[in-house]
Amino acid sequence: MAMFISLIGIAIVIIIAIRNMRSSRDTFLNRTAYLTEKTGAVKCHHCEAIMKRQKHGQHCPNCRCWV
């Protein structure tokens, strides 16, 4: 009985580890999400352009709207 419970516990830990690896890999392979997360890039609300060096409160170079 104790062995059965330990096997169930190990299976749950493996499932959780696989889910965490999958979500981090998706972020790493998705270039847009990776740039936004690592460089602090800002996304324009109007034209959806991603600007790496812009800060909040500046104009978007594409559509001239406030970011």
**Residue-wise pLDDT tens digits, 11-23:** 999 988 877 776 5
The average confidence (pLDDT) of the chain is: 74
User: Which DSSP helix (H) or strand (E) runs through 51?
Assistant: strand 50-51
Structural domain includes residue 36? yes
Structural domain includes residue 22? yes
Q: What is the pLDDT of residue 55?
A: 61
**Residue-wise pLDDT tens digits, 47-58:** 877 777 666 677
Q: Number of C-alpha atoms within 13 angstroms, CB side, residue 65?
A: 11
Alpha carbon 28 to its chain centroid, in Å, reads: 8
Structural domain includes residue 10? yes
Structural domain includes residue 55? no
Structural domain includes residue 61? no
Domain that holds residue 20: 2-40
Structural domain includes residue 64? no
Structural domain count of the chain: 1
Q: What pTM value is reported for the model?
A: 0.37
